[in-house]
């Protein structure tokens, strides 16, 4: 998603993309290693991961194709 936001230029017009940068971006992209260790440390057995703002609505005609790539196994 971050690559799509940048390619579309959304990072220049939507300040909420900045929330997904730096240390937070690293943590969001870590779907195993540290995430699992932190879950174990805090006693969490399940996490629900979902795409939040800015999601796909600002990506124009590409949004449907991107959504399919994200959700398809």
pLDDT per position as a tens digit, 4-38: 777 777 777 777 777 777 887 788 788 888 999 99
The pLDDT of residue 14: 76
Percent of the chain with pLDDT over 70: 82
Q: Where are the domains of the chain?
A: 2-71
Mean pLDDT of the chain: 78
Residue with tokens 């196994």: 73
Cα 6 to Cα 61: distance, rounded to the nearest angstrom: 15
Question: pTM surpassing 0.85?
Answer: no
Q: Taking the CA atoms of the chain, what radius of gyration do you get in angstroms?
A: 14
């Amino acid at each position: 998603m971050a690559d799509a936001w940048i390619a579309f230029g959304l990072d220049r017009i939507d300040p909420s993309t900045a929330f997904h940068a730096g240390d937070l971006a690293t943590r969001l992209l870590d779907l195993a290693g540290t995430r699992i260790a932190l879950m174990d440390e805090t006693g969490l057995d399940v996490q629900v991961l979902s795409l939040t703002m800015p999601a796909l609505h600002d990506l124009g005609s590409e949004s449907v194709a991107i959504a399919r790539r994200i959700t398809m196994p």
